[in-house]
Chain A
Amino acid sequence: MIALFWISFIVSLVGSALLITQKHAVYALLGLLIAFGASAGVFLSLDAPFIAVSQILIYAGALAVMFLFVLMFTDTRTEEDVGLPGAVGSRAVFDPATGRPSKKKKKKADEEEKKPALSGMVMPKPMAVAVSLALLVCFTATIVTLPSDYNRFGPLPSAYDGINFEGVERSADQIKTDPNLLPFGSTEAVSRTIFEGFPLAFEVVSLLIFAAVLGAVLLARRHLVGIPGTQDVAKESGHA
């Protein structure tokens, strides 16, 4: 467990460093994926296997694919590539006669090949570094001054401790047959926490996700004549 934790520790540091230094958005997404996978390892070493699996399923599975799809829809080049202001002019300039990117862009691509290996990284911004380092110092000071019972984790409540979900102590004979005694962090224990402890929050989250799905469909839809954000798109496709 301790080896798993330290490996995950180092790998998540590497992943987050990749995320904040890489210029190319797909490489940054790869760093985010590495950090998420390593976080699943941290959860596993903290006796939370169900959370670890749902971390991989939801974050590394669903969210990363969503990010990749939107990267496919949009321009992945960042402001460091095209210079500021990165508004309308930052698009690739296409030559209408040939239907290919114009020579100006090609020349830029040739220049990029000669750049050193560090050219894929973003130059650090001094103010952002100062603010995040100050925040890290504050957090570290808080963590160091935590009381001494945070120096180590206590022993887990095993299924044979004789305390179940209702907080009732059981005798050794009852323990072996009691279905309410569950190991810490198991799927059964987490699901009983959800449905016995916080059922209202569970239902409210389902409502939230429903609203989010509706909103995402409405926002990303095309051909909404009469709504300002989407009308120009309808016009464009009408001409083409």
Chain B
Amino acid sequence: MIRLLHTADWQIGKPFGSFDEERGVELRSARFAAVGRIAALAAERGADAVLVAGDAFDDNTVQDRDLNRVLDQMSGFAGPWVFLPGNHDAAITGSVWTRFAALAARRGNGNLFGADEPEPILLLDGRLAVLPAPLSRRHEGADLTSWFDHAETPSGAVRIGLAHGALENRLPEAADAGNPIAEKRAATARLDYLALGDWHGYVEIAERTVYAGTPEPDRYPSNEPGHVAIVEIDGPGEAPRIERVPVAHYTWAARTQRLDGDAGGLEAVLASFADPGRTLLKLTLSGSLPLRERVSLEETVRHWGDRFFHLDIRDDDLFDEPDEDDLDRIDVAGFVRTAIETLRARADNPADPDSEAARVAIRMAYVEHRRLTAQER
């Protein structure tokens, strides 16, 4: 029996530039930590090898320091690590692989296998044959796995395909189709298992064909990232036993919430997360709120913003809908009311280029008024 740990898309060196510096650093560090957990898991489960199906690195120019950190984290598993160049770290001239291999050699790591040529890699004394389809540029266009069909491997060896790209007809249309992989490749190439990378969510997408996804989520789409696959194969032609194992530290969640007149429901949504300190939540709000609710919403967001690791509120579709009550709170009469009415009219007029500004202005007036009132008391 052969036991493999299949992972992919580590994206080491991903910058996270849209986060503030502190969070960016934490998110970057998390990716190294994920490698450490993978190594520990592989050791714990007695894996025979770790297959990394592409995009271990976010870019070919990733710094040597980062490579060393990866090697540090990998030290927990002494068995073979097979790395496939993906679209982010394609085996182009001057790719990260040359440096990575050199650093590993310098450190005396002999368990690193760069799968940068389309030829079988025989491991475990010939019991395991890995057929890699390395990318030598970002977008190959052609199916690099076609050579698997005719690849000769020792008769007793388990045949494992290792590829990076989009399995045809299986992934959502949104998936990057720059590197297509034939839908039936596992069957046509008589593979016991086809380990795929590129799609960041874990998905057993076809027979004997699995996307392990990224072990540490790096974006919001809810496609179940944060796992690795532990695959057991008893021998050539035997059905693999595939286990999905969570390894993520951070949870990236995206929610949409419609608020109509009342912001109170949001509290429950935010409170539903078990570990907000390890959660990145992208909350898209829509609907409309009276100003007082809007103000209370902001208070809620302020509170939870500090509790979540990161709370990204997208309120472009959430509109202020000041009602009479709001306006009465602003003032009984006088020019203020007239001004607010003017702003309301402009806010409600989609043709007015300042309608958005008018909406915010009303909210400002409201907030300021409340503030002034509070001062008076």
Partners in one complex: no
